[in-house]
Structure 1
């Protein structure tokens, strides 16, 4: 099938890897020396006949682990659709191949560490949502691509890519240093892409949704928050909605990122385990300024839609964020606070229209990007909406889908798909596609970031809140709580290794993985579990006298309560915290 076609072939000998491009007439072969790690360009005639041959879809790059260098390749892909005539692929399977033939040169501890690093690498690669295109730049919006110079168009995909969204940028460092090898360097984005042929009034058009996750300050829900000194915001996602119809094209771009208030770390961690923390106000203000300086340069004007609660634990975060925006005193920044949960309480989801109506004038001013079928640019997007909530997972997606629909309404009318007076909401077939795609987008980004599907997707799919949706949200929240506390340290380490925030150095000796957990990490939870179980048993199997039963229950109850209290006050010791990158680097 089209989804299983191969573009490259890997030949393996004991001395070298050979990556052969299968383009018609191409003779170029990438040769990788398995001993010296040297990469060179050679021809097909230099590939030994004895080499073991295997088809692959592309090279993700190389990475150094304890055992030495590894080659990461895409072994299976699936066709997502076509963007302006260019096939877009989803990477489905990967292979991580050692340069070394054996690991006998490693000690037992080193071998175990190497296995852990390999499992970290595979943990990231197994996270759904890697996409690539062999002859089109997926990292840029249509508007950015349209405003580039001829010189830009001549660059290789790796050179011209927006580095914010190249998730294998660290793996491609060796290839990046040699321009003649760039044809083998495949920039891969992470996030979500859906492409749907749609029909309204008998007119067929292509509707596309692309979410690009930034690889700067990437991580999991509890361990990467706020903003760093370079101005990179945690969990930054650029979402572009595209319409293609008979040569005409239009796009509407929105962004979201986590709250940048300096209070965020201390507030969020206190809510979790009673664990303190926090950054420095001055450094956050500096990072805040840098972030928005770059954002305004890239996107133009910005309207920040802050969707956090304006009471309880989220209130100081909203106030701090508003104060920081106000302190910038920049006319290109507009700030709107909308208490999502308060406004939509008691299933009053129609009240979201209040926010949509409030930004109608601004949305009309920002506009969208559009090129006619004759190739004439008739509209440019002059600004973006930036949605923020606590995690940029659930509330943000709901609001983004509503704003995107309003933009789409105007675009479809302008290119002649919708007739005057028609509403998208009335087009039942398209509405189903639209709502499900936005819900799938929310789920994909939420799984990548929080470990579970998004909340509130029943509203995105159906346009109303359901009791089943509330039950599913409760279930997902419980799963998130467990994963965020007991498995996200490993996930964060995996991401830091993959993106190069932590580099394995064979000469440095022991890695941070050898840090041992305190004895109480395992002992106290076991004691608490046994004590609680014995308390239940004593209640169910009463003793000879009430006094005896009461004494047993009080003893085991006290034991479980004391251990639970110790666990609560030493919460950080029981959380699966990252080991590879020091905490201050994440704050």
Structure 2
């Protein structure tokens, strides 16, 4: 039987070590972390001298910062529901255990800890002690169920893989004190997934079932909206998410409530409903950024400056990306929803040029529509001969075709994909009788995937994905006999509401992790129509996105880079987070605030009856002019006032910063003063950034 993570762990602490034991498995080895070195070992007998300090739900990992190493433990987890009898939990609170007995306080160290704690607190992290939530049911059916849970986990969605690296390395090769593999460590390695997960019991036409929606966010090239775009050299794209919609039939062990799972329920097989076989129906979709080199440079303008590099330079990276996608999912139907006009057109053209370079004998056809020059265009290979001929590009002019609240016109895309959806099928499996490992008998497999994107892979993408999920769910319910031919589940109001709610929740959670707010157009997903309240909510979200993306996402991106190991803190790096802009540049926003204050005081302060009016008017006019100059300067040199990531700076941010400084030096008012700081700028502003970049390389 596979070694599963412990459900209950006691933490014992002393001046020389931390020890982790499982009270429900007294015969199991305890994990010891030496202080302050961080060396790991397994202990067979009882440990003496340690004091029990707490009980935890699991070990999230270990991370080394500038001055100390910390063990991150999960102190509170919330049950989210049962999936085939296996309880799934959400991480609620964590604690950082320092290896030094007397922690050293340092400004950078405190900032690192603040970033990590904020990331874990805001990130929706999920785990299960006995079920692999990082893999789809179809991939699980192909895996060796006797392997430890962490070995089965999909590397893309094993979000704490970096912070678990010390434990994993120890498990694989041991240490100088304990050489060789250490299988006893398996039970302390707990894979955690970042994303969205909802489990709900429901009925369709009096037939009970469990509806599950899981979105798994990739840990590769993860980040925030404007600081993570396009593709990297390894073929990882930004904001890549895999969404699996699952229907469980005759499974009385799923949903909320009941026993949270113990040793006798590791495989979740408590039995079906009335002796009927437990069936699993699963449908998978993906989303991800356009796989070319492109970026959007924040300038404090509402619309960032778009940069798209030559498509030829991205071909090798795109090959690596689609090679993985084809191996994992089969044929890829690439649905592109960006605008065909305006600034987004450059991204659309780049994507289409890339597909033409990848497929052999490319051919395309467009279908003109009444509201746009080209409502749908298709690109593929006329004679499939090689791997990348399994890419099938479909462009849909979403904004133009659905403007004026004509949401029914999205059906045009569904009609175009109908043949592909019929052919790709879906996964269907049943529990194999007598299988202690919970193995599945595969009755049907999904042979391809729809990969959808818009600019952010958020709002338009989720609308289309929910539409495809609805079509497939109707097909599944028809195939198993719950619905008759031509019937849809829309007639069941309660189930319709549940379906819409799940997909709207999915939109909000995926959007919040990338853009900082809930998704736009969720009123359409929740209610099926556009509402005034939904439009007002979209305006509020758009304003919030602007503020977050320009002033708050830099530290958030730093937290991603720190947790995922993109940036490695170094004891020699000092004052990494210091603002090294010239003091004059830093001071202008404060000067603007003073101007607003003086104008406010001059306007609303009560004057004596015999007081002269002209001096006060001149006072207000002078400060108004100064304030207007400050506002114009900030808006005109917005790159200097964006809160950029400091740990792993983006190349376009560095270039934009130096370009802005160069322009400021030409300013007739303050240029000569900024020029005096030229040496300090070039030597100091990106010193720590370049150090981080070299370590990554």
TM-score by structure 1 length? 0.91
Query: How far did 1:277 drift?
Result: 5.8
In the alignment, which of 229, 232, 238 is matched to residue 228 of structure 1? 232
In the alignment, which of 315, 332, 338 is matched to residue 390 of structure 2? 332
More helix by share: 1
In structure 2, the residue matched to 1:79 is 79
In structure 1, the residue matched to 2:158 is 166
The answer to whether 1:342 aligns with 2:405 is: no
Query: How far did 1:335 drift?
Result: 1.3
- 1:94/1:222 Cα in 2 relative to 1: closer, same or farther (>3 Å)? same
The answer to whether 1:256 aligns with 2:287 is: yes
Given that residues 200 and 417 in structure 1 are in contact (C-alpha distance below 8 angstroms), is that contact kept between their aligned partners in structure 2?
A: yes
In structure 1, the residue matched to 2:489 is 424
The answer to whether 1:500 aligns with 2:565 is: yes
In structure 2, the residue matched to 1:120 is 115
Given that residues 28 and 41 in structure 1 are in contact (C-alpha distance below 8 angstroms), is that contact kept between their aligned partners in structure 2?
A: yes
In structure 1, the residue matched to 2:631 is 564
| Structural mapping, 1:49-448, within 5 Å | 50-104=50-104, 111-148=106-143, 152-179=144-171, 180=182, 181-246=185-250, 247-262=278-293, 264-266=294-296, 272=302, 279=309, 281-329=311-359, 330-372=388-430, 376-448=441-513
Instruction: Provide the C-alpha distance between the structure 2 equivalents of 1:287 and 1:432, rounded to a whole number of angstroms.
Output: 41
Given that residues 311 and 350 in structure 2 are in contact (C-alpha distance below 8 angstroms), is that contact kept between their aligned partners in structure 1?
A: no
- 1:397/1:169 Cα in 2 relative to 1: closer, same or farther (>3 Å)? same
Q: Render the CA deviation track for 1:146-170: whole Å, top value 9, x for unaligned.
A: 123xxx3232222221111011011
Instruction: Provide the C-alpha distance between the structure 2 equivalents of 1:118 and 1:310, rounded to a whole number of angstroms.
Output: 44
SS at match of 2:133: coil
- 1:283/1:421 Cα in 2 relative to 1: closer, same or farther (>3 Å)? closer
SS at match of 1:418: coil
The answer to whether 1:20 aligns with 2:78 is: no
Given that residues 298 and 550 in structure 2 are in contact (C-alpha distance below 8 angstroms), is that contact kept between their aligned partners in structure 1?
A: no
- 1:297/1:430 Cα in 2 relative to 1: closer, same or farther (>3 Å)? same
Query: How far did 1:22 drift?
Result: 3.9
In structure 2, the residue matched to 1:584 is 651
- 1:357/1:539 Cα in 2 relative to 1: closer, same or farther (>3 Å)? farther
The answer to whether 1:573 aligns with 2:637 is: no
Given that residues 273 and 572 in structure 1 are in contact (C-alpha distance below 8 angstroms), is that contact kept between their aligned partners in structure 2?
A: no
In the alignment, which of 507, 513, 527 is matched to residue 577 of structure 2? 513
Instruction: Provide the C-alpha distance between the structure 1 equivalents of 2:55 and 2:128, rounded to a whole number of angstroms.
Output: 18
Instruction: Provide the C-alpha distance between the structure 2 equivalents of 1:290 and 1:270, rounded to a whole number of angstroms.
Output: 35
Report the more deviating stretch, 216-225 or 542-551.
Answer: 542-551
Given that residues 231 and 290 in structure 1 are in contact (C-alpha distance below 8 angstroms), is that contact kept between their aligned partners in structure 2?
A: yes
Query: How far did 1:333 drift?
Result: 1.0
Q: Render the CA deviation track for 1:72-100: whole Å, top value 9, x for unaligned.
A: 01111111122222221111111111011
Report the more deviating stretch, 29-38 or 489-498.
Answer: 29-38
- 1:259/1:53 Cα in 2 relative to 1: closer, same or farther (>3 Å)? same
In structure 1, the residue matched to 2:678 is none
Query: How far did 1:193 drift?
Result: 0.4
Query: How far did 1:59 drift?
Result: 0.5
Instruction: Provide the C-alpha distance between the structure 1 equivalents of 2:190 and 2:287, rounded to a whole number of angstroms.
Output: 26
Report the more deviating stretch, 226-235 or 389-398.
Answer: 389-398
In structure 2, the residue matched to 1:529 is 593
Given that residues 58 and 184 in structure 1 are in contact (C-alpha distance below 8 angstroms), is that contact kept between their aligned partners in structure 2?
A: yes
SS at match of 2:112: helix
Gaps of 5+ in 2: 1-5, 172-181, 251-277, 360-387, 433-439, 655-697
Report the more deviating stretch, 157-166 or 418-427.
Answer: 418-427
Query: How far did 1:445 drift?
Result: 1.3
Report the more deviating stretch, 34-43 or 532-541.
Answer: 532-541
Q: Render the CA deviation track for 1:162-197: whole Å, top value 9, x for unaligned.
A: 111011011000111122212210010000000111
Gaps of 5+ in 1: none
Q: Render the CA deviation track for 1:33-56: whole Å, top value 9, x for unaligned.
A: 11231111113x423365123110
Query: How far did 1:512 drift?
Result: 2.5
SS at match of 2:198: strand
- 1:99/1:280 Cα in 2 relative to 1: closer, same or farther (>3 Å)? farther
Aligned residue pairs, count: 572
Given that residues 518 and 573 in structure 1 are in contact (C-alpha distance below 8 angstroms), is that contact kept between their aligned partners in structure 2?
A: no
Query: How far did 1:127 drift?
Result: 1.3
Given that residues 6 and 55 in structure 1 are in contact (C-alpha distance below 8 angstroms), is that contact kept between their aligned partners in structure 2?
A: no
- 1:570/1:516 Cα in 2 relative to 1: closer, same or farther (>3 Å)? same
Instruction: Provide the C-alpha distance between the structure 1 equivalents of 2:617 and 2:395, rounded to a whole number of angstroms.
Output: 54
- 1:342/1:241 Cα in 2 relative to 1: closer, same or farther (>3 Å)? same
Q: Render the CA deviation track for 1:245-285: whole Å, top value 9, x for unaligned.
A: 021111100000122343x3157769657668665644423
- 1:471/1:529 Cα in 2 relative to 1: closer, same or farther (>3 Å)? same
Query: How far did 1:321 drift?
Result: 1.2
